[in-house]
Structure 1
Amino acid sequence: MSCSFARAGTRAARILFGCALMALLGPACAQTGGSDEALRREIEELKKQQAETQRKLDELIETLQPILERLPKPFRPQRMSFKGSPVKGEPSAKVTLVEFTDLQCPFCVRYYKNTFPRIVKDFVETGKVRYVAREFPLASIHKDAQRAAQAALCAGEQGKYWELRDKIFHNRSRLAPEHLEEYARAVGVEIEPWKACLESGRYNEKVARDVRDGSRLGVNGTPSFAFGLTDPDDPESITVQDLIQGAYPYEEFARRINKLLD
């Protein structure tokens, strides 16, 4: 659009220069009186075109404004503690990747099945990345997600968080209390202490804190992922330097992780 305005302005300038020149020439211009009317019409036409272009530009801005307002803002690094959260990988890993997940979310399941195993194999098991799980149940749309999150955390007291999480992700459509107990038994959880933990609501505050911390970062859906460098002086905290939301393919995770590793 800016090029169009430049051409119109140049053309108008030439016309105005011509008019000024005719005024200076005086009688000589009288012989070309017919061209004055042509110039006037051309200037009027240019004005109409410019007004129409401005109108269309205003309409475009009005259309784009709501879209621009919804675009994600540049991420600002933030400090975040994940004390008490399940962790995979070496404490000395250079990069820490924190997942905010809803155990009943279909997109979380897609990520878990298609991308998570490759991240573990290529980055966690090689000592490059430490992987942290945090809960972000979307209770308004997934009625079983809150209890599933607490069930997994209670299993974590017996060293079975990741195992029960796996069972839950592979059975996300069957997460009633009796199903959760069935999965807990299947992965070798001692049931009575697990049930006592679950019924006590011991992890209510932990889950609420995960949701608060995620929301503070800008998380509003699952799965979401925070990337940062591991702090050797404070291994249960990171400065989050990057955040993505969605079940992105493996290649996008690898790109962001490698950027921090370089």
Structure 2
Amino acid sequence: MSSRVQQKEAARKRREAIEAEERRATQRRGARRRVGIVAAAAIVLTAGVVTVSRVSQDDAVAQPQAISERFAGIPQDGIRLGSPSAPVTLVEFADLQCPFCGAYARDVLPTVIERYVRPGKLKLELNLLTFVGEDSVKAGRLAAATTDQDRFWGFTDAFFAAQGQENTGYVSDDFLKAAAAAAGADHDAAADDDATADRVLKQAQTAADRLGVSSTPTFFLRRGHDETPLKIDDLEPEAFTAALDEALR
């Protein structure tokens, strides 16, 4: 009897966590829309002179507590997140500068983690590509090197939380140090680990070439040796999870 009560309580807590994460995702999307409106108004009012002030990118990096809570209790192994015994792997190809990859990470990934990864239905694999620009290479190499510390998912989460406009030079050493610190990674050790960075990024590019990946984010579902494209038309949490549910049937 007590076992059934505990199972019901665990299910209730998972459901509440999913609902809370979806509310936070909605709030984040609303906040970004408001920022966009304000920025657009500023551009009009300054008659062609853009002087929009913004919070420092370094200050916008996700806080360590939020990252710790998101991934607490979930096994990490390099670029993989989730139970090794999960029957299906959601394979993602992303560029850290890709704005759509950032939107997925901020708005959809938290729901995927709570609804599929934490219960053991799915594990995740994130392959980083570096084609958007030089900042992609700089960020991708450091992120890849954190795989040996099993801080890769925390680092990418922190990076995407503070993602700026691509190829504007925001990926400074201080920005990367802040993301590493938020993830609990040793920045200096990762920055010196060229061998791991080379290996992880080469493996990602090889997989992308084999699967014909030409844009990001791109998703596949892997069952055993079979890899099937996951067709996504909308990066809203409910639309994404509906497509995922359909593919998992």
**TM-score (normalizing by structure 1):** 0.57
Offset at 1:260? Answer: 4.3
Q: Is 2:171 aligned against 1:175?
A: yes
Alignment match, 2:183: 187
Specify the alignment match of 1:208 in structure 2.
202
The alpha-carbon deviation at position 177 of structure 1 amounts to 2.7
> Which of these residues, 138, 143, 146, is aligned with residue 152 of structure 1?
143
Q: Contact 2:220 / 2:229 at 8 angstroms: preserved in 1?
A: yes
**How far is 1:180 from its partner?**
0.9
Report the count of equivalent residues.
Answer: 168
Report the Cα offset of residue 192 of structure 1.
Answer: 3.4
Q: State the one-letter code of the partner of 2:171.
A: L
Q: What is the aligned counterpart of 1:137 among 112, 127, 130? A: 130
Deviation of 1:247 after TM superposition, in Å, equals 5.7
The aligned residue for residue 112 of structure 1 is 105
Query: Counterparts of 2:217 and 2:237 in 1: how far apart (Å)?
Result: 14
Kept in 1, the 8 Å contact 2:148–2:196? The answer is: no
Within-5 A mapping of 1:174-253: 174-197=170-193, 200-229=194-223, 231=224, 238-244=225-231, 248-253=235-240
Residues in 2 aligned to 1:194 and 1:157: alpha-carbon distance in whole angstroms: 8
Label 1:97 to 1:120 Cα distance change in 2 as closer, same or farther (>3 A): same
Partner of 1:90: 83
Q: What RMSD over aligned residues (CA atoms) do the two structures have, in Å?
A: 2.3
Runs of 5+ unmatched residues, structure 1:
1-83, 232-237
Q: Secondary structure at the match of 2:134?
A: coil
Aligned amino acid, residue 206 of structure 2: R
CA contact (8 A) 1:223 1:246 kept: no
Deviation for aligned residue 1:166: 1.4
Question: CA deviation digits over 1:79-108, x for unaligned, max 9?
Answer: xxxxx8511111222221001010111111
Displacement of 1:207 in angstroms is 1.1
| Change over 3 Å in CA distance of 1:121–1:114 after alignment to 2 | same
Percent identity of the aligned residues? 26
* Mapped partners of 2:199, 2:157: distance in 1: 23
**Aligned equivalents of 2:94, 2:108: Cα separation in 1:** 14
Which whole-Å CA distance do the structure 1 matches of 2:173 and 2:233 have between them?
28
Report the CA distance between 1:179 and its aligned residue.
Answer: 2.0
Three-state SS of the structure 2 residue aligned to 1:132 is strand
**AA partner of residue 226 (structure 2):** T
SS at 1:156 equivalent? helix
Shift of 1:201: 5.0
Q: Secondary structure at the match of 1:115?
A: helix
**Contact 1:110–1:247 under 8 Å retained in 2:** no
Q: SS of the counterpart of 2:137?
A: helix
Give the distance between the partners of 1:201 and 1:224, measured in 2 at CA.
Answer: 26
Runs of 4+ in 1 over 6 A off after TM superposition: none
